Amino acid sequence: MSHAPLENDRFLRALRRQPVDRTPVWLMRQAGRYLPEYRATRARAGSFLGMAKNPEIACEVTLQPLARFDLDAAILFSDILTIPDAMGLGLYFAEGEGPKFERPVRDAASIAALSVPDMETELRYVMDAVRLIRRELRGKVPLIGFSGSPWTLACYMVEGGGSKDFARIKAMALNEPAALHTLLKVNTDAVIAYLAAQRAAGAQALQVFDTWGGVLSPAMYREFSLPYLSRIARELPRGEGDQRAPLILFGKGNAAHLEALADSGTEAVGVDWLVELGEAARRTGGKVALQGNLDPAVLYGSPDAIRVQARAALDNYRDGNGGSREGHVFNLGHGMSPDMNPEHVAVLVEEVHTYSAR
């Protein structure tokens, strides 16, 4: 892997809380069905999993939003459910129903049978995609690798797919907590190995998606999600100095836990729109960078409304951060949706850059 300097490193600098010329911006799910070129590639490839498992196509789709918008980072095109798929659960996507597993894990025996997949065989397609994307990016912007959190992966593995009430996994937490902790432990070992392998393949920052941490009561979060996120923050090897790949712990509904997350050893915390950035900045006191947090639905507003909301988020962060915009990575509070207008994304990215210029 070459270490040629990046053309645009403001995303990595902001994650290290170093000064930048303008606030960097990328968007969760920036590659996806809202882009006509994505839909065309998907029609050619046949399916989402067919795209994710083909490094050339994953690379092509990763680069699509960067060709249109002045984004400050690329994110690997893949999915969080690659790990349980490689553990043998049989991931598939039922049309219009989201992800599902053929063999969910619902008892202590099937949990005990799980092991950490080999990163350069079972998950080689992910590492090949990372290597190819790094090469094709040619140092334009940094590449983000990612994983699901141990808890969020466990939700899909136990429920067998998406869920509204998380009845099965919450019953397991109450009735068989030791079995659930065994599952969370193997998931944590796998996440650490997976992120370390993505970094070795060329990923320059790493994000953990704790999409479902917010469905837990604070006490259950402190038992079943936070300790495993903290272990990742402590144990994930990520290099030194300006070669260090910063870690971002994103969580939906993590507002109650910002102080604990800031003390975990992570470089950055991603937040959704239910907490104000200024409050998050005050409560984390400069220990971490913050990423977020526009309500994705703002993209349904008019261009003028989008500009007003972007400025408000930038200023809210600055006001809570002692008058400085440093340490902020602009993003949505969650992923984009297929019915969003690409022209509105261009407006948002442009406004973040021009309004925050310094």
Give catalytic residues, as residue numbers. 29, 33, 42, 79, 156
% helix / strand / coil in the chain, to the nearest 5? 50, 10, 35
Smallest gap, in angstroms, from Cβ of residue 149 to ligand CP3? 9
Q: In this structure, are residues 82 and 198 in contact, taking their beta carbons and an 8 Å threshold?
A: no
Smaller CB separation from ligand CP3, 55 or 320:
55
Q: Which residues bind ligand CP3 (CB under 6 A)?
A: 28-33, 42, 48, 75, 77, 79-81, 98-99, 146, 162, 209, 211, 335
Smaller CB separation from ligand CP3, 63 or 220:
63
Smallest gap, in angstroms, from Cβ of residue 148 to ligand CP3? 6
Give CA separation, 43 vs 50, 68, 78, 93, in Å. 11, 20, 17, 15
Nearest residue relative to ligand CP3 (C-beta): 211
Smallest gap, in angstroms, from Cβ of residue 211 to ligand CP3? 3
Smallest gap, in angstroms, from Cβ of residue 26 to ligand CP3? 8
Smaller CB separation from ligand CP3, 81 or 130:
81
Query: From start to end of the chain, where are the E strands?
Result: 74-75, 91-94, 98-101, 143-148, 205-210, 247-251, 268-270, 289-294, 328-332
Strands 205-210 vs 143-148: parallel, antiparallel or unpaired: parallel
The phi and psi torsions of 336 (rounded to 5 degrees) equal -75, 160
**Distance separating alpha carbons of residues 165 and 184, to the nearest angstrom:** 19
Greatest alpha-carbon span in the chain: 58
Closest CA to 284 of 309, 270, 263, 314: 263
Measured at the alpha carbon of residue 252, what is the angle toward residues 129 and 334, in degrees to the nearest 5?
55
Closest CA to 281 of 252, 332, 316, 308: 316
Smallest gap, in angstroms, from Cβ of residue 44 to ligand CP3? 12
Smaller CB separation from ligand CP3, 9 or 79:
79
Smallest gap, in angstroms, from Cβ of residue 84 to ligand CP3? 11
Q: Which two tokens stand for residue 310?
A: 């972007």
Smallest gap, in angstroms, from Cβ of residue 75 to ligand CP3? 4
| Beta carbons within 8 Å of 334's beta carbon, 6+ residues apart | 28, 252, 272, 273, 296
Cα of 19 vs its chain's centroid, Å: 23
52: phi > 0 → left, psi -120 to 50 → alpha, else beta; which?
alpha
Closest CA to 136 of 50, 31, 60: 60
Which residues sit opposite 98 in a β-bridge?
94
Q: In this structure, are residues 243 and 183 in contact, taking their beta carbons and an 8 Å threshold?
A: no
